[in-house]
Amino acid sequence: MACRITELVLDCADPEKLADFWCGVLGYQVLDRDPEGIEIGRADQAPEDRITLILSRSDDPKKQKLRLHLDVNATDRDQSAELERLLALGATRIDIGQSAVRWHVLADPEGNEFCLLKRRVTP
C-alpha cells in the first residue's frame, strides 16, 4: 500500500482572491467553500481521482521563499503566450536567484512562488 496526494493546501490571507487567480491559471472550479477556506479542482473528475488545491485562510504573513512550490505547463499555447496570460491574470515575475533557465519564476497575487515550465502538456 502507498499514499496518494489528494490535496495541496496553501495558507493565504484572501482565499477568494487566490481562488479566482488559481482557477484562472489551472482551469479549475470552486468545489467547496467555508469561512476558513476554498477548495478548487476539476469538477469533471471523480472526487477519488482528482488533486485539489485548498486555499486556507491564515493571518500569518509569508516571510520567506516557499520550500515547496507548484510547477505548471501550458496546455494549448507556447510558453511565451502562456506567460502573457498568467501575467494578465495577476502573476508577477520574481527573482529568487535563478540564473539563465528555461522556465519563468512567478508569484501569485500573495507572493507565493510558482514556475511556468517550457513544455506543453495535454489538458
Mean pLDDT by 10 residues, the chain (123 residues): 93 97 98 96 94 96 87 96 98 89 95 94 87
- Return the C-alpha cell found at 41: 479542482
Q: Are residues 2 and 48 in the same domain?
A: yes
Tell whether 30 and 41 lie within a shared domain. yes
CATH of the domain at 88: 3.10.180.10
Looking at the 3D structure of the chain, how many domains does it have? 2
pTM: predicted TM-score of the whole model, two decimal places: 0.92
Domain boundary among 61, 80, 112: 61
- Shared domain check, 49 and 70: no
What is residue 87's predicted lDDT score, i.e. its pLDDT?
98
Those residues with Cβ within 8 angstroms of residue 123's Cβ, 6 or more apart along the chain or in another chain: 27, 75, 76
Structural domain boundaries enclosing 75: 62-123
In a shared domain, residues 57 and 68: no
Comparing CA positions, the residue from 56, 49, 98, 13 lying closest to residue 114 is: 98
User: What pLDDT does residue 53 have?
Assistant: 98
